[in-house]
Amino acid sequence: MKKVAITLFAAMLIYNPALAQSQKSGVPSLDEQSHKGDMARLAQKKVNDDFNLADEDKSGDLSRAEVAKHFPFREQNFERYDKNKDGNLNWVEFVGHDRWKRESKAN
């Protein structure tokens, strides 16, 4: 059940970053010492792992090809997520808010 809740929370942020961005105060702090904080830390880890896995060239951004391979829904709506129109999704564009920092994967 806990895994389902984490997946749903992460999916909400991944697939609806406009919601997360419009409700910055609704994005749980990773420092919060509660169940909500625990869920935020688990969701942040999942999103971070997904981003690092998709970033195949380790550029720190996701190209449209990387997005298409790993997140087909996002690729179909790429222009909506690519806020700065540079043809890539950076961490903030991918997550939909700037409250969580990306942890790059050590090689």
CATH number (domain holding residue 60):
1.10.238
pLDDT in tens, 58-87: 999 999 999 999 999 999 999 999 999 999
Is the model's pLDDT at 22 over the cut of 70? Answer: no
Q: How many CB atoms lie within 10 A of CB 94?
A: 24
Instruction: Please check whether residue 22 is in contact with residue 16, taking contact to mean a CB–CB distance below 8 angstroms.
Output: no
pLDDT category, 91, cuts 50, 70, 90? Answer: very high
Type of residue at 27: V
Q: What is the mean pLDDT of the chain?
A: 81
Which of 59 and 98 is assigned the larger pLDDT? 59
Per-residue exposure over 4-40, b if at least 16 CB sit within 10 Å of its own CB, e if not: eebeebbeebbeebeebbeeeeebbeeeeeeeeeebb
106 falls within a domain: no
- Number of domains observed in the structure of the chain: 1
Which of 11 and 104 is assigned the larger pLDDT? 104
101 falls within a domain: no
Question: For the whole model, what pTM was predicted?
Answer: 0.68
Instruction: For residue 105, give the DSSP letter.
Output: P
- Mean pLDDT calculated for residue range 22-38: 71
- What domain range includes position 43? 2-95
* C-alpha closest to that of 26 among 7, 5, 47, 9: 9
